[in-house]
Structure 1
Amino acid sequence: MKKAGKKQTNVVLANQVSDNNYSIGKKLTKSQISELAHVANSKPGGLTFVLTAQDVAVEGFCMSNCGFHGSDTKLKSAFIWVGNSVTQCPGQCAWPFHKPIYGPQTTPLGAPNVDVGLDGMIVNLASLLAGTVTNPFGNGYFIGSAGAPLEAASACPGVYGKGAYPGYDGELLVDSVTGASYNGFGVSGRKYLLPALFDPNTSQCSTIV
């Protein structure tokens, strides 16, 4: 296990760029994702999110990952990529809002924003954001080997509320009107489901609720 020292991080939301014309196509490699991140933000110290639509295929998507994070050590910048899985592999990358490909076929949770693909992206984005903040360049906090690290959220797969176990996401809050499950609030009271984070002080997964 490796641990990074304590350091305050300030986040400032910058610009947003959309590529509605799919300028480099709908089949992307990991290196192209890195290039897109660099084009969107080439400033030192930045964190770029690359989000792809449901009709865009990315190398490794659905087969080995639902998203990933990378970095440019020269610029000391990082990026996160997450894809919309709703038409490609919702059972793998949009659980628990869709029945899983493997394991107990429990009833899916209601998506808090009534969009299985988008809410699945939020879960994956939150998980990768936690990993990027704590291990941006591969020498920060992680458990296991550097080649296949378990980071702050990926060390707690499928855990969203207290009492979670494989196939059961834990005790969550439920919207009385829509029946959707959530555990966190965003801007303007929007509801989200966010993953648990591994607490190195207790060696347990810490949940919001």
Structure 2
Amino acid sequence: MVLTSSDVTVGQFCTSSCGFHSTVLMPAGKRVVMVHVGDPGTQCPGLCAWPYAAPEYGPPGPTLVAPNGVGVDGTVINIATVIAGAVTNPFRDGYYQGDRLAPLEVATACAGIFGEGAYPGNPGNLLIDEKSEASFNAFGAGGRRFLLPAIWEPISGKCKVVA
């Protein structure tokens, strides 16, 4: 996993994606899956840290309070999205829909959906921290709060959110 800081520019980041996965051919001839996510907090929060930042495009709506800061929480959302794609479609011949060079993967199929009742411009019903008013849908180590994207569940044909 490659995470880059706000002073590092990566070609695809903020233009066509908020992160990506690919493979690297190692000297022994073995392919290794790698993922990249940049810092959305300063480079492109409206594209890659929604719903914690005002959307660059699409319907306007209120921004949510990020439990760990816009950059950190935007990065967590993007890491979860890219890892879900890397696990289900690591070599571009796994689980995806559409063109294999621009696949619609398990998390990108559910873009913008974080809770039940989501629709464009509204991430859905989320948990809210009483003290900070931060919105989230998952708990991590030490009681940390995070927002994880929904993923496509092919048997039901629906986006499944963290429960």
> Which category describes the TM-score, using the shorter chain as reference length?
over 0.9
**Displacement of 1:154:** 0.6
In structure 1, the partner of 2:110 is 156
In structure 1, the partner of 2:19 is 67
Normalised TM-score (structure 1): 0.74
| Secondary structure of the structure 1 residue equivalent to 2:94 | coil
**Displacement of 1:207:** 0.6
In structure 2, the partner of 1:106 is 61
- Percent sequence identity is 49
Can you give the 5+ residue segments of structure 1 that lack an aligned partner in the other structure? Answer: 1-48
Say whether 1:169 aligns with 2:111. Answer: no
Could you list the structure 1 runs, at least 4 aligned residues long, displaced by more than 3 angstroms after superposition.
none
1:166-191 Cα offsets, whole Å, 9 max, x none, are 10000000001100000011111111
Normalised TM-score (structure 2): 0.94
The 1-side partners of 2:122 and 2:93 are apart by 32
**CA RMSD after TM alignment:** 1.1
In structure 2, the partner of 1:178 is 132
1:30-73 Cα offsets, whole Å, 9 max, x none, are xxxxxxxxxxxxxxxxxxx1000112111122111111101135
Contact 2:4–2:37 at 8 Å: present in 1 too? yes
The 1-side partners of 2:50 and 2:30 are apart by 35
Can you give the 5+ residue segments of structure 2 that lack an aligned partner in the other structure? Answer: none
Say whether 1:78 aligns with 2:33. Answer: yes
Contact 1:55–1:87 at 8 Å: present in 2 too? no
The 1-side partners of 2:84 and 2:58 are apart by 26
In structure 2, the partner of 1:88 is 43
Contact 1:173–1:182 at 8 Å: present in 2 too? yes
* 1:1-209 superposed matches below 5 A: 49-72=1-24, 74-113=29-68, 115-209=69-163
Q: Which amino acid aligns with 1:191?
A: R
Bigger-Rg structure (1/2): 1
The 2-side partners of 1:112 and 1:143 are apart by 33
1:110-160 Cα offsets, whole Å, 9 max, x none, are 1121x1011101000000000101111111111112121111101101000
The 1-side partners of 2:59 and 2:103 are apart by 26
The 1-side partners of 2:110 and 2:101 are apart by 18
Q: Which amino acid aligns with 1:87?
A: T
Q: Which amino acid aligns with 1:205?
A: C
Q: Which amino acid aligns with 2:5?
A: A
